Chain A
């Protein structure tokens, strides 16, 4: 259902273009990278305010902007998990992040693979973790690029086709990444957060008001029409699904290579404890994204399957003129550009380091190689975007199920260091990732393999099953291996940067 195109529709696309140019300009201000460290992490110089902005920037992604409202529109109560997991994740972070940071400072490391390398005294485990991180990042990047394509196509009122829009979005992201490094992202992240906050809160209040006469009235109407929509069902996206999905998301939350790496940019561990206090408040703003999704239900009926991600933009187009659409699109553009660029940077950096670790790799200029690899990463992601078919939230849950498999070996490295066994870690992670990938390829769930189990267990998120298998294997092999003497002189042996 395509609304008629108004005469000043070009305004929307123009606003997007202006925002893109502004983002490029901000990133150019941060030019002049020398070493890979400077380019990708800015060497541990950030204070807590910048850390806050950088980590907050990672909350507002295409997932929360388009995906969350899309799920609210199509599924109702199950979308609440996205509001809930924040409380659990930040509570965990208060204790988990300082522990990771302390090891990082002690070992003088800057990235996730190095952590595992030193914790398990095994360079090859570090490379393996890097590889798994990359595997998990690809679907995450795919969803960002998908979202970017949607934003450009919808803001153009359909004048730009979906495929062209995806190309435009991807090329813009690649240019943005190549122009800057993490410092550029921090500045654009601040702009992005201001804009997305204003947009989401504004729409979240205005849309229910315009379409229903207020948020309370909106719920009155919807509850009367579909009372079951706002509670979790008995089977399917049920209580066990909700709790297990939250747990899986929480355990995977800090396991993303770029998130993990950014931890080491903090000046001290206090920054994390303070973030644990304030970040949950930030998450409450996501309620407005839920309201937008609910408001769209009556106004834009008929979106189904992967198209539910269009809900926010379609309802905006329907109710407001091109100026608002452009503003919303600009906010959305940044929510896809900033995390998308972070992910591309992280993937390219990991791959550049992996190449350098090869026997013939010593002469490689890491920064130039990383920049070239960004293009390769973009192309690979694009092939998946064009194959299509998944909602943004589904893609993210898949990516989470993979990256969360790194959590058991992180925990065991922190709390069982004397028995740390690289072989056990490798076996555990492989088991977990294997279960996730197999279940996705075979389109299997716990139900299809063990149909006679009680309903509660059948609904559990497959990532949780994989996590259990992961932990069991890891612990079992650790117990079977002799205790190792970990070389703590590793930090002193490193060549000076």
Chain B
């Protein structure tokens, strides 16, 4: 695949879906919150960060694609 960075999106998703098996506990408390809750909230925040990163890379990629003329050498 030519855009491997997009796979990063899987990280927070797996973190959320697999939380019962990675994080189903109360200790250690993060910012006063039970661990599992903090874990899930952190994964949701990561989603934002990861999608932001992917969006930036995608926009750069598409800008380059737009400038490419069919006769150009493949990268």
Contact = CB atoms under 8 A, between A and B. Distances in A.
B34 A219 contact: yes
A216 B29 contact: yes
A219 B32 CA distance: 7
A77 B48 contact: no
A85 to B, nearest CB: 8
Interface string B23-67: 011100101111011001101111110111011001000000000
Main secondary structure of the interface of B (DSSP, over half): helix
Contacts of A232: 20, 24, 36
A206 to B, nearest CB: 16
Q: For chain A, which range describes its interface: under 10, 10 to 19, 20 to 34, or 35 or more residues?
A: 35 or more
B64 to A, nearest CB: 17
A84 B19 contact: yes
Interface residues of B, number: 34
A91 B26 contact: no
A280 interface: yes
A88 B16 CA distance: 8
A240 to B, nearest CB: 8
A242 B20 contact: yes
A116 interface: no
Main secondary structure of the interface of A (DSSP, over half): helix
A407 to B, nearest CB: 17
B44 A231 contact: no
A94 B54 contact: yes
Given A80-B40, A91-B12, A238-B20, A231 B26 contact: yes
Contacts of A386: none
A454 to B, nearest CB: 16
B21 A87 contact: no
A247 B19 CA distance: 13
Given A87-B12, A88-B17, A239-B24, A219 B33 contact: yes
A87 B47 contact: yes
A83 B45 CA distance: 11
A274 B55 contact: yes
B37 A91 contact: no
Given A84-B44, A216-B29, A91 B20 contact: no
Contacts of B34: 77, 219, 223, 230-231
B2 to A, nearest CB: 15
Interface in A238-259: 238-240, 242-243, 246-247
Contact of A90 (B20, B31, B36, B47): B47
A21 to B, nearest CB: 37
B45 A280 contact: yes
A276 B43 CA distance: 14
A283 interface: yes
Nearest to A287: B41
B66 to A, nearest CB: 14
B20 A243 contact: yes
A86 B21 contact: no
Interface in A270-325: 273-274, 276-278, 280-281, 283-284, 287, 290
A94 B51 contact: yes
A240 B20 CA distance: 8
B23 to A, nearest CB: 9
Interface string A129-145: 00000000000000000
Contact of A216 (B15, B32, B40, B50): B32
B55 A84 contact: no
Given A215-B32, A219-B34, A276 B44 contact: no
A317 to B, nearest CB: 26
A84 B24 contact: no
Contacts of A217: 32
A273 B12 contact: no
B42 to A, nearest CB: 10
Interface string A64-102: 000000000000010010011111101100100000000
A231 B25 CA distance: 6
A455 interface: no
Contacts of A274: 55
Contact of A231 (B21, B36, B46): B36
Given A276-B51, A283-B44, 19 more contacts: A80-B36, A80-B40, A83-B41, A85-B16, A87-B43, A87-B44, A91-B50, A91-B51, A94-B54, A219-B34, A227-B26, A230-B34, A230-B36, A240-B20, A243-B20, A274-B55, A277-B48, A280-B47, A287-B37
20 contacts: A87-B15, A87-B43, A87-B44, A88-B47, A91-B9, A216-B29, A216-B32, A219-B33, A219-B34, A231-B26, A231-B34, A232-B24, A238-B20, A240-B20, A243-B17, A246-B16, A246-B17, A277-B51, A278-B48, A283-B44
